[in-house]
Chain A
Amino acid sequence: MKKLGIVTAIATVVATVNMAHAAGAHAQGGTLTVPIITQTFVEDFNPYSGAQADMVSGTMYEPLYVINTLKGDINWRLAENYAYAKDLMSMTIKLKKGLTWSDGQALNADDLVFSLNLGRDDAKLDATGQWGSKKFTSVEKLDDLTVKINFSAKDGTIDWHLPRLHVVPEHIFAGVDDLSTFKNPNPVGSGPITEVKQVRDNQIEICRNPNYYKASEGLPYLDCIKFRQYTDNSQIQAALINDEIDWGSNFISDIDKTYVEASPETHGYWYPANDLINVYLNTRELPFSDVRFRQAFSMAMDRELIVDLAAYGYPTVETQVSGIGEFFKTHLNDEVNSKYNYLAEYNPERAMELLEEAGFKDVDGDGFVENPDGSEINFDIHVVNGWTDWVQTVQMVSEFLAEVGIKANTKTVDWSVYDSALKEGTYQASINWSRTNGEDPIQAYRDYFYTAQQGLSWHTNHGISSEKVDKLIDEYSATVDEARRKAILAELMEFTSENLPFVPLFSNPTWYQYNATRIGGWPTEENDFVQPVFYNGGNKLLVFEQLYAK
C-alpha cells in the first residue's frame, strides 16, 4: 500500500514536472537578437528615465493589460480586470493572485498604488499623463489586490491610458531620491526577461526571470534577448541580410530584392498599416480658405504612384477622406465614405474643373493659376530635412500640383521650424503624422479639432474647428454607450470629409521584418495575432511570448 503510495507520489511529481515543460508548446532555450538605434548602451534599466525604454518596457516590466487593436480584444497581464463605477467618476483595478517580482517578493496593490502615485508629484514620472491633465484626483488601496482611482470628471476613456503605466517594485523604488535619474542596476521586474547578464557599449544581454508568474505555462520559450547597438537604418539592413539579427523595426530599402531574395524561406516582412500621413493645409489664408481648392488638391494626387516611387510601395494608399485610416478599418463608416470617396481618387481633370469653378484661373499665362483676386499662388510645403522618403513624397506632391496648374515648393526645414510652424499654425502646407493609431478613433478627431489642443498638437492648428465638434468629443468620453459613440464618430467623419482641412495621402507602414533562421513563432499576415510594433511595450511582449528557438 505504502509502496504504491510512494510510486504514485513520484509519478505525480514526475508528471507535474513534465507538464510544466509540456504545457508550453515549445522547448525552452535560445536567444533573440534585436537592434536598437543609439550611440552607445549604458547601465540604465529604469523605465522612468527613458534612457533605454525599449529594453525594459513590456519584457522586463509588464503592463496591467494590453489593448490588442488588431484583434479588438484585451490581453490581461498583471491585471485581472477593471471596472468603471456607474457614475464614471472612478474605476477599480483588480490584480491577479499570486504575482511575484523576479526577486521573489509579492507583487500586489501596494506596488500598483505606489506606481500610480509617482506621477502625482512629478510630471516626469507621469507615464499615463493623467495627473498632468488633471484627470486623476486620488488613488486608494481597497485590499491586497484591488486599487481604486478617483477622477475629477466623468470619463470612460481612462482605460486607454492605463497600459502605459510602468508598474515598478515599491521595495526598490521607494528609497530612491530622484527617480528620473535612478539607473536601476540589478533590476527587479515582473516580465519574462529580467536578469541582466552583460552590459557592453555595443551589446546588452538580459535573461529569463527566475520567478516569472507564467513559468508554469512554460513561458517564455526563449532564454535571453540580446540588444545590439546600431546608429542608422542602413546598418540594420545589412545586419538583417547577413542574419546577424532576428527582428527589425525600421525602414529597409527595396526589401524584396535585398532581404527576402537573400533567403526566401527564412527572411520575411509584414507591413500592416499604422498612422495616417496627411498634408495639413492652413485654411486661414488663400488659397486654402476655399474648400474647393482643397478638394482639387486632393484629387490631383496620384497616391498609388507616390506610394510606389517615394516609399517603395510599402505604405497603404488612403482611399477615403474621413480622417482615420486602415488601422481603424473596423470603425470605417461606409455611408459617409461612399459620399466622399471620390475626393481621394486620382482625377486631375476634375481637379482642374473645380479650380475653374472656384475662380482660380491662369490670368498671366505662366501655366499656373492665380487666386480669384488675382494674387499669385506660390506656397511652401514643409518637410523635415533628412526624412528622405517624406522629402521625396512632398516633391512628388508638388509635381502633381504643378500638373493641374498649382505652384508649390518643397521646403525642407530644420525640425524646430517644422515643429513650431505646425503647432502655432504659421505654416502654409505641411506633411505630418496623425493620431490615428491610438486605442480609439476618437483620439484622432480630438487631435484634429479640439480647440483646447491648438498650440499643443501638430494637427490642430489648420484653422478649422467648431464648438459643436468640441461638444461631440467631450460627449464621447463621457459615455460608454456603443451606439451613441458610433453615431458621434459618424458625425465627426462627415465633418472631416466635408471640410477637408488636410489631404490624406497614405498610412505609414508598421516597419516589421523577421528572420526565421533561428527563431520561429513570428506574427505574419496569415498569423496576425498582434500588430508587430516593437516600440510599444505591450505589443512587443505579446510577440515575444510566441517566439521560440528552432
Chain B
Amino acid sequence: MFSNKFFKFLRRFYKSNPAAIIGSFIVASMILLSVFAGAIAENDPTKRVARGHQPPSAELLLGSTRSGKDVFSQVLHGGKISLLVAFSAAAITTVIAVAVGVSAGYFGGRVDEILMSTTNIVLVFPQLPLLIIIAAFVGQVGPLVIALIIGLSSWAWGARVIRSQTMAVRNKEFVLAAEVMGESKLRIIFVEILPNLTSIVVGGAMGTCIYALMAEAGLEFLGLGDPTIITWGTMLFWAQSNSAFIVGAWWDMVVPGAAIAIFGGGLALLNMSIDQVANPKLKTGGYIKTWRRMKADVEARRAAA
C-alpha cells in the first residue's frame, strides 16, 4: 500500500515536469558515478599515470593533471568527498533549522524571542568572510571540518522560513483539535506540523547543498583546504596553481568546474520543480500547453456559439 501511494506520488511529480526529470537524472547519475568510482575509473587518482598535462584521449578520457594524474579518475573519486561534504552540511543545517524554526514557531513567547534574536544575528553575519576566518582559524581544514563549519553557520535563513510556516500551520484547526484532544506536544510537532513543512524543508536542504558545494570549492580554491585530499575544490586549486588556462591545459580546470556546475544545476532544477509542486501556480511546461489548448477550445466554442 505504501509503495502504491509512493509511486503514484512520483508519477504525479514527474508528469510533464521536465525540470524534475532532468534534475533527478543528473543528481542520481552523479551520485552513482561517485559511489562506484572505484569500479568505473581504472586508475588510482593519486598515482602518476602519464606525463603532465596530457589532453583528453582514448586512454585518459579527461586528460591528466600537471603531476600526471588521471583527471577522470580524480573527478569521480573527488566527487565522493565533495558530495559527502555538501550532503553532510545540508543535513546539519536542516536539523538545526528545523529544530530552531519549529520550536520558535510552535512554542512562541519567550522561546520564540530568544531563538529569533539569535537567528537574526546569525543571519546578518556575512557567510563567506566568516567561513574564511574560521577556516584560517582552525588552520588547515579537511573536508569534514569544512562541512561542519558550513553546517553550523548557514541555518539561519531556513530557520526563519520554517518558523513563519510553522506559525501559519499552528493555528490551523487540526492542530488545535489535536491539542484539545490532549496529544503530547512532541507528537503534534512530528505528526501534524512537520509533514506540512516537507516541501520547504526539502527545498531548503537542497539550497544549502548547492551553497555548501560552492563554499567548499571556494575555500579549497583559496588554498584553505587540505591540498593532499582530492575533492573537486582541491582539483580547482591545483589547476589554478599550475596556471591551467594559460598553459593551455583547460581540462584541468574545466572538468571539476563543470562537475560542480552540473551537479549544482541539477539540484537547482530539482529545487525549482519541488517549488512548482508545492505551489502549482509556478508550474511551467506541459501543463501550460494543455491549458492553452483548452483555452483555445473554449474560445473557439464561444465564437462559434
Q: A residues touching B (Cβ–Cβ < 8 Å)?
A: 234, 237-238, 241, 253-254, 257-258, 309-310, 385-386, 388, 391-392, 395-396, 399, 410, 412-414, 417
**How far, in whole Å, are A108 and B66 apart by their CA atoms in the complex?**
56
Given A309-B67, A413-B140, do A386 and B243 touch, yes or no (CB 8 Å)?
Answer: no
CA A292 – CA B277 in complex, angstroms? 71
Query: Is A257 touching B243 in the complex (CB atoms < 8 A)?
Result: no
**Given A385-B140, A399-B48, A412-B227; A253-B246 close (CB under 8 Å):** yes
Complex interface residues of chain B between 217 and 255 (CB less than 8 A to chain A)? 223, 226-228, 238, 240-243, 246-248
The 5 A-B pairs at the shortest CB distance, nearest first, are namely: A388-B241, A254-B247, A253-B243, A386-B223, A414-B139
Q: Bound complex: CA of A414 vs CA of B227, how far in Å?
A: 12
Known: A388-B238, A414-B139. A237 touches B67 (CB 8 A): no
Count of interface residues, chain B, beta-carbon cutoff 8 Å: 20
Q: Is the CB of A385 within 8 A of B247?
A: no
Residue of A nearest to B226 (CB): A412
Inter-chain contact B246/A238, CB cutoff 8 Å: yes
A395 touches B228 (CB 8 A): yes
Q: How far is the CB of B117 from chain A (nearest CB, A)?
A: 36
| A392 lies within 8 A of B67 (CB) | yes
Are B67 and A253 neighbours in the complex by a CB distance under 8 Å? no
B52 is an interface residue with CB less than 8 A from chain A: yes
Instruction: Beyond the given A253-B246, A253-B247, A385-B227, please list 5 additional residue pairs across the A-B interface where CB-CB is below 8 A.
Output: A234-B240, A237-B243, A254-B53, A310-B67, A396-B67
Interface residues of B (CB under 8 A from A): 48, 52-53, 66-68, 139-140, 223, 226-228, 238, 240-243, 246-248
Query: Dominant SS at the B interface?
Result: loop
Bound Cα distance A413, B138 (Å):
12
In whole angstroms, what is the CA distance A6 to B68 when docked?
79
- Greatest chain B CB density within 10 A among A237, A238, A388, A410 is at A388
Q: Which residues of A contact B242 (CB under 8 A)?
A: 253, 388
In the bound complex, residues from chain A placing their C-beta under 8 Å from that of B226 are 412
**Which residue among B52, B139, B246 has the maximum number of chain A CB atoms within 10 Å of its CB?**
B246
Asked if residues A237 and B140 are in contact (CB atoms below 8 Å), the reply is: no
**Complex Cα spacing A391 to B140, Å:** 14
Are A412 and B246 in touch, CB under 8 angstroms? no
* B48, B139, B223, B247: the one within 8 Å of A257 (CB): B247
CB atoms of B223 and A254 under 8 A apart:
no
Residues of A within 8 A of B248 (CB): 257-258
Instruction: Give 24 CB contacts A-B under 8 Å.
Output: A234-B240, A234-B243, A237-B243, A237-B246, A238-B246, A253-B247, A257-B248, A258-B248, A309-B48, A309-B52, A309-B67, A386-B223, A388-B227, A388-B242, A391-B227, A391-B228, A392-B66, A395-B228, A399-B48, A412-B140, A412-B227, A412-B228, A414-B140, A417-B139
